[in-house]
Chain A
Amino acid sequence: MNSVVASAVTPHGYLQAQARWSPLEIAFWLAAFLPFVLFPTYLSLANQIAITALFALSLDLILGYAGIVSLGHAAFFGIGAYAAGIFSKYVWGEPITGLVFAGLCAGLVGFATSFIVARFKHLTLIMMTLGIGFLVHEIANAAHWLTGGSDGLQGVRLWPIFNYFNFDLWGYTAYSYALAVLFIVFVLSRRLINSPFGLALRGIRENSTRMPAIGADSRAHIRKIYTISTAIAGLAGGLLAQTTETVSLGSIDFQRSADVVVMLVLGGAGHLYGGILGAIIFMVARDQFSGINPQFWYFPMGVLLVAVVMFLPGGILGGLARLTARFRKNPS
């Protein structure tokens, strides 16, 4: 998609150019602090947006970059959520170790399933991820003694972060915490995507049979990125469990898997910022629409989705990228 960039530069030069922080990106991250000042009463929403953005980012890594369409990604979000919740209940309530534990658990299950995922493509792959999602959901439902089943996990209690910052009612701590995690993971993902490994992933997305011919093992790459992605999804789930101090089957169900795909499509897959932007638009729109009409708010959401897919096929970011590309060609 960035074929506009002159092909004469060296691969290293290309990657370095990609890795440079643009002023727009810096402005974006500075803007992430605005809610503290401008909308202090929306911080708990901002927190859930940051968490959802992290989840969308994890999906973007596999869907946008490696071309793996997953309809069961909530399984790993849920594993992270339950892991963090159960950790705080039975081990201790320290949030950061709990979060790392959540990421590890989800990454471990992700690694185990990556062997299956790497073998399949297209419709089979989608069905496979869907199946994994249902399996994990059913296990969480059946293991009532551990997860609380349909009643949700009770008794999740968190200590203050660094033993100082309390999770307050307004959401100051929650949002700062989620934003910090989002930013760290984002920087790491950005580094990853702009490495030769990231380039290989894009190669797999475009033509996975040709990649082994130039010495890049597609399956090994897919296993790696899938494991990384599931671990990040687990972190997002862990954050939700910790900041709301509750975990339910809703964190693991198909609706969540579907919603995150919608967000990514809205924002634009394969842009890193696509998922984040999609999460912001989706969550804010949902909050506003459901505030206007609590019963039928899915209707305007549907209209929005149809409109974006029809008129901006690459998502909002894809559309913007095309516009700027055209502008650069004829700067008149």
Chain B
Amino acid sequence: MRKALLGAVGLTAALLVATAANAQNTIKIGLIMAYSGQFADTAAQIDNGIKLYMKQKGDTVAGKKIELIRKDTGGPNPDVAKRLAQELVVRDKVDILSGFTLTPEALAASDVSAEAKKFMVIMNAATSIIVTKSDFSARTSVTLPMIGNTAGTWAAKNGIKKAYTMVSDFGPGHDAERAFQAAFKAGGGEIVGSVRMPLANPDFSAFVQRAKDLNPESIFVFVPGGAQPAALGKAFAERGVDPNKVKIIGTGEVVDETALKSMGAASVGIVTAWHYDYNLDNKLNKEFVKAFNAEFKRNPDFFSVGGYDGMHLIYEALKKTGGKTDGAALIAASKGMKWDSPRGPMSIDPATRDVVQTVYIRRVQKVGDGFRNVVFDKFENVKDPTHGAKK
């Protein structure tokens, strides 16, 4: 291990010299995301957030030009992500690693960030433990325990006594389930049952039927964004689970813009906890949505805002260090940084380097001729509860 450290230090020194000599006037940011494959749209929306930020704030910071190098992993491919991160560091001599749509890829690249001491900004991947893997990483998206915990607390506070949980069977799903159950029980609620559904192409009807047969007072759901929320919503409608009688509580993915469109009236009454929605009523967000629509002809989503705020963190950290790009200086500059984002006030926790933000409680309602998430409650300065629990 000592040898490994020595080697890493020697290598980093060599790299730093090389970088310093090479990049007097540019700062290179390597973006590692799944630009192709089934998660391509996620990457596209993050990229849009990045592009918009750079268009608004210019491409120079602290007198240096920002250059982006985009690399495609093609889906959940941690081995590719790790190689790309290595190559970005040794060949392209990037100063900052960023992007990271998917948890396994972020975890694999964290090794490189830790070894090469490169500042790493996670713009999406939402499993709690990622930021613990490298001392030079910070996150600007969200973590699921943060959301699950808030949802559980809210449910218990609002007179719900019994809940059933349904989550996808993978890291973020487990995180969400644990956090919801812990917070709900702590508030005096009772978990009447839980189920983990397969991540790939599940048929929800059997799971929904089982939940319905138990006739719980409420159901907590988490499925990853994409095609699944709509399929789940349809299963609820088909099996006759009425969100007005059985409270359906979920995370924001379940009711994102496309999911609401395909669920239609079946979605009315679903309550979710989430950190961003394009309908959020604040001045910054209205400007953000307008500019985003003008540029890309679509609404931003929580992916976009993760990319937008990720760039903000990089820009502000660079301003603080005066353009110095070594990992230690940049992460020191990021710790405790506070700013106003389209999602509301947010900051980087100085202890865990994870995001701290407002979590909104929204209910789906018919607004005009469409369906929207209407905010009716919020929890401010929410931190990831699992980091705290470890200490």
25 A/B residue pairs, CB under 8 Å, sorted by A: A42-B91, A44-B86, A45-B87, A141-B200, A149-B169, A149-B170, A149-B199, A150-B199, A150-B200, A151-B104, A169-B86, A169-B89, A245-B82, A246-B108, A247-B79, A248-B76, A248-B79, A250-B75, A290-B36, A290-B74, A294-B72, A295-B40, A295-B44, A295-B72, A298-B36
> Do A246 and B91 form a contact, CB below 8 Å, given A150-B170, A170-B11?
no
Which residue of the partner chain, among B7, B70, B75, B170, contacts A168 with CB atoms under 8 Å?
Answer: B7
Contacts of A44 in B (CB 8 A): 83, 86-87, 90
Q: Is the CB of B103 within 8 A of A151?
A: yes
A166 within 8 A of B: yes
List residues of A (10-64) whose CB comes within 8 Å of B's CBs: 41-42, 44-45, 47-48
A44-B87, A169-B86 known; A150+B70 contact, CB < 8 A = no
Task: Assess whether A319 is interfacial by the CB under 8 Å rule.
Answer: no
Asked whether B76 lies within 8 Å of A150 as measured between CB atoms, the reply is: yes
Kindly state the separation between the CA atoms of A284 and B151 in the bound complex, as whole angstroms.
Answer: 48
CB distance from B80 to the nearest CB of A (A): 8
Chain A binding surface, main DSSP class: helix
Q: Which B34-67 residues sit within 8 Å CB-CB of chain A?
A: 35-36, 40, 44
**Separation of A244 and B198 alpha carbons in the complex (Å):** 27
In the assembled complex, B4 has its CB within 8 A of some CB on chain A: yes
- Distance of A145 Cα from B7 Cα, bound (Å): 34
| Bound Cα distance from A45 to B71, whole angstroms | 14
User: Whole-angstrom distance between the alpha carbons of A195 and B74 in the complex?
Assistant: 41
A247: which B residues are within 8 A, CB to CB? Answer: 78-79
Main secondary structure of the interface of B (DSSP, over half): helix
> When chains A and B are docked, how far (Å) is the Cα of A247 from the Cα of B80?
11
B residues less than 8 Å from A313 (CB atoms): none
Q: Quick one: given A150-B171, A250-B77, A294-B71, are A166 and B86 in contact (CB under 8 Å)?
A: no
Residues 151-162 of chain A, each 1 if its beta carbon lies under 8 Å from chain B, else 0: 110100000100
Closest to A291 in B: B71
Chain A positions 276-323 with a Cβ under 8 Å from a chain B Cβ: 290-291, 294-298
The answer to whether B35 and A45 have CB atoms under 8 Å apart is: no
The reply to whether the CB of B107 lies closer than 8 angstroms to some CB of chain A is: yes
Q: Chain B: which residue is nearest A171 at the CB level?
A: B86
Is A240 among interface residues, defined by CB-CB distance under 8 A? yes
A41 and B171 form a contact (CB under 8 A):
no
- A49 to B29: give the CA distance in the assembly, Å: 26
Q: Within residues 175 to 212 of chain B, which ones have a CB less than 8 A from any CB in chain A?
A: 198-200
Q: Which residue of A lies closest to B3 (CB)?
A: A166
Task: Evaluate contact between A250 and B91: CB separation under 8 angstroms.
Answer: no
- Kindly list 9 other residue pairs between chains A and B, CB separation below 8 angstroms, not including A41-B90, A290-B74: A44-B83, A150-B170, A160-B4, A166-B3, A169-B90, A244-B83, A246-B107, A248-B78, A248-B104
Q: What's the minimum C-beta distance from A136 to chain B, rounded to whole angstroms? A: 15
Q: Which of B44, B79, B91 contacts A244 (CB 8 A)?
A: B79
Contacts of A160 in B (CB 8 A): 3-4
Query: Which A residues touch B241, using CB under 8 A?
Result: none
Q: Which of A144, A168, A169, A297 contacts B169 (CB 8 A)?
A: A144
Kindly state whether residue A249 has any CB partner on chain B within 8 Å.
yes
- In-complex Cβ contact of A169 among B72, B107, B112 (8 A): B112
- Smallest beta-carbon distance B111→chain A, Å: 7
A83-120 interface with B by 8 A CB criterion: none
A151 to B4, CA, bound (A): 26
Q: A166-B3, A297-B72 are in contact. Are A251 and B127 (CB under 8 A)?
A: no
> What B residues does A42 contact at CB under 8 A?
87, 91
Given the complex of chains A and B, what is the CA–CA distance between A146 and B133 in angstroms? 20
A169 touches B83 (CB 8 A): no
What is the CA–CA distance of A47 and B83 in the complex, to the nearest angstrom?
10
Distance (whole angstroms) from the CB of B236 to the closest CB of chain A: 24
Chain B residues lying within 8 Å of A240, measured Cβ to Cβ, are 79
Most chain B CB atoms below 10 A, which of A47, A247, A248, A294: A294
Q: Would A250 and B79 count as touching, CB distance under 8 A?
A: yes
Contacting pair B78 A246 (CB below 8 A): yes
Alpha-carbon distance A301/B8, docked complex (angstroms): 36
Chain B residues near A290: list those with CB within 8 A.
36, 71-72, 74
Closest A residue to B173 by CB, please name it: A150
- Residue on A with the closest CB to B171? A151
Q: How many angstroms from the CA of A44 to the CA of B169 in the assembled complex?
A: 33
> A152 contacts B104, CB within 8 Å?
yes
A103 vs B381: C-alpha distance in the bound complex, in angstroms? Answer: 51
Contacts of B103 in A (CB 8 A): 151
> For B75, B80, B90, which residue has the most chain A Cβ atoms within 10 angstroms?
B90
B91 to chain A minimum Cβ distance, whole angstroms, is 4
CA distance A152 to B86 in the complex (A): 19
Distance of B309 from chain A, by nearest CB (Å): 22
In the complex, what residues of A have CB within 8 A of residue B115's CB?
169
Q: Which residue of B lies closest to A244 (CB)?
A: B79
Could you tell me if A250 and B78 are in contact, using CB atoms closer than 8 angstroms?
yes
Known: A250-B76, A295-B35. A245 touches B91 (CB 8 A): no
User: Counting CB contacts under 8 A, is B116 at the interface?
Assistant: yes
Q: Which residues of B contact A169 (CB under 8 A)?
A: 8, 11, 86, 89-90, 112, 115-116
Interface string of A167-180 (1 = CB under 8 A from B): 01111000000000
Check A152 against B107 for contact (C-beta < 8 Å).
Answer: yes
**Within the complex, what minimum Cβ distance (angstroms) separates B124 from chain A?**
15
By the criterion CB–CB under 8 Å, are A244 and B82 in contact? yes
Smallest beta-carbon distance A213→chain B, Å: 47
A149–B196 CA distance with the chains assembled, in angstroms: 13
Smallest CB–CB gap between A211 and chain B, Å? 40
